[in-house]
Amino acid sequence: MGFKFVLLWTDVALYALVAGLVFYVWRIRHQPNSKANWMKVLRDPAALCSLAVLLLFVAVAVLDSVHFRRQLDFAGNSAPDAQVYYGTRTESLLDVALANQVRMREVSWSAPLAYQGFAKEPVQKGADIVREYARLGHGGSHLKNPEQEWQGDVMARTARGLLGGAVAFALCVLAAGALLARSHGGFSNALSDLARGHTDYPLRPLMITLLVICLLCGPVIALMDVYHVFGTDRTGNDVLYQAMKSVRTAFVIGTLATIATLPFAIVLGILGGYFKGWVDELIQYIYTTLTAVPSVLLIAACVLMMQVFLDKHPELFETGAERSDIKIFLLCVILGLTGWATLCRLVRGETLKLRELDYVQAATAFGVSHARIMSRHILPNVMHLVLITTVLSFSDLILFEAVLTYIGVGVDPSMNSFGGMINLARSEMSRNPVVWWSFAAAFTFMVVLVLAANLFADGVRDAFDPRSRSFRPRLVKRLLKAPAGAAGEPALTK
């Protein structure tokens, strides 16, 4: 069966972003200052561990960004000159990897790892119809006597998953030891230094993070073939599948919306701080007026106008996935057009300071053009603020998407997102008994992603912004314990 690649707007943007990151990594190899700052980020244990978690989410987002449509299989397609038709459903590599979860659709709710439905249903028993908890069509269907076999089967599969995770972690440790063998005087010395934390980078915390990831993912992978690990929602869809699909939506919102703010913030901030006068006043008036309008109302108005245009032009899209994708792409553009004021203020303030420095005044005295001064002397010296703000805004936009989708002006309902999962779970949390697992899954995935992004952002800020750096805790503790006037120790005074 053939297939046809589908290139969505957000796919193009994500591919361009990955290519830009690769180019940036290649370029900083020849920039000692930038390279030294990034080495400081990697030497921060919290930043390095959070980077490992972020890379795991990035891998899921990349798998979900390779889209295709399957060729329809019918007799007319077999003729040599026949026109080839493709299905209307757009799939991704993540859908292929989780194809079993797509097929394991139940009738309605089911609790995590359950083998029977969550609500009673009419069941035919002989000549009578009784209401009871019916067996699920897929979850636990391999059990012949679930009342007696379920607990042992779950424990056995969990144990196999933990063993598989431990083996995967052992392979990671051996690979790290092999990479460190040359610089640490042999393989055994490398493993010993790795265990004691005597490495240039904080690899021991990284190994602990990988151990936790392996021990969590192992049982999930072992159980997901025959059970719904996170249960199912109202329509019987697997909640784990929905949470995994929501990761790409979060990354699209967090990255593309942040990048959309950069042109306006950088250009207008530098122009206002460099030229001052009426140019600065005009730019200040624009972003002051923009920030005076409530952001949620402004974004909602723009999204509703965009929705009207999409509804009136259905012929522009071949599939529903393309329509949902262009909606989230335009949402990112709207978030960028309405959210550049904060970064613009920071860039303007830094430009005002840089404009008065000696090397800028010297360039002006020698007749260097304004455009060249701004591009060669101002722009490189404000990029640390841009980088810090970009990383910090990533997690804020993920949370903002959840709020917008919750109130109905976010991503398309046909696209999985954390906000959509929380919105659908709103009514489920108010029923009795409570259906809590959809909300818990979305909350857990979103918290882990946002927490990892925040910790990594803190490491980037500490490395690139000298004013935010603080004394190391060990040094402060050593100074506080030292008596006044002790040899080799400075005396602390009030």
Q: Dump pLDDT digits (tens) for 258-313.
A: 888 888 889 999 998 888 888 889 988 988 888 888 777 888 888 888 878 877 87
Q: What is the pLDDT, as a whole number, of residue 488?
A: 41
Q: What is the CATH number of the domain that holds 274?
A: 1.10.3720.10
Beta carbons of 464 and 37 less than 8 angstroms apart = yes
* Residue at 408 is within a domain: yes
Of residues 103, 90, 100, 102, the one with CA closest to residue 64: 90
- Alpha carbon distances (Å) from 423 to 37, 38, 416: 41, 39, 11
* Residue at 337 is within a domain: yes
From first to last of its 494 residues, the chain has per-residue pLDDT tens of 677 888 888 888 888 888 888 888 888 888 888 788 888 888 889 999 999 999 999 999 989 988 888 887 765 555 556 677 777 788 889 988 888 888 888 888 888 988 888 877 777 676 677 777 778 888 888 888 888 888 999 999 999 999 999 999 999 999 988 888 888 888 888 888 888 888 888 889 999 999 999 999 999 999 998 899 998 988 888 999 999 998 998 888 888 888 888 888 899 999 988 888 888 899 889 888 888 887 778 888 888 888 788 778 777 777 777 888 888 888 888 888 888 888 898 889 889 888 888 888 888 888 888 888 888 888 888 887 887 788 778 777 877 777 777 777 778 777 888 888 888 887 777 777 788 888 889 889 988 988 888 888 888 888 876 555 544 444 444 444 544 444 444 444 43
Q: What is the pLDDT, as a whole number, of residue 485?
A: 45
* Residue at 226 is within a domain: no
Q: How many domains does the chain have?
A: 1
* Residue at 151 is within a domain: no
Q: What is the pLDDT, as a whole number, of residue 476?
A: 42
Q: What is the pLDDT, as a whole number, of residue 475?
A: 40
b/e sequence 343-370, b meaning 16+ C-beta within 10 Å: bbbbbbebbeebbeeeebeebeeeeeee
pLDDT tens digit sequence for 143-165 = 888 888 889 999 999 999 999 99
pTM value?
A: 0.83
* Residue at 326 is within a domain: yes
* Residue at 412 is within a domain: yes
* Residue at 23 is within a domain: no
* Residue at 423 is within a domain: yes
Element (H or E) spanning 91, and its range? strand 86-92
Question: Which DSSP symbol is given to 134?
Answer: P
Of residues 332, 346, 371, the one with CA closest to residue 265: 346
**Angle, nearest 10°, between helix axes 418-428 and 239-275?**
130
Q: What is the pLDDT, as a whole number, of residue 465?
A: 67
Q: What is the pLDDT, as a whole number, of residue 305?
A: 83
Q: What is the pLDDT, as a whole number, of residue 84?
A: 75
What would the two tokens of residue 469 be?
């750096």
Q: Which domain holds residue 376?
A: 244-466
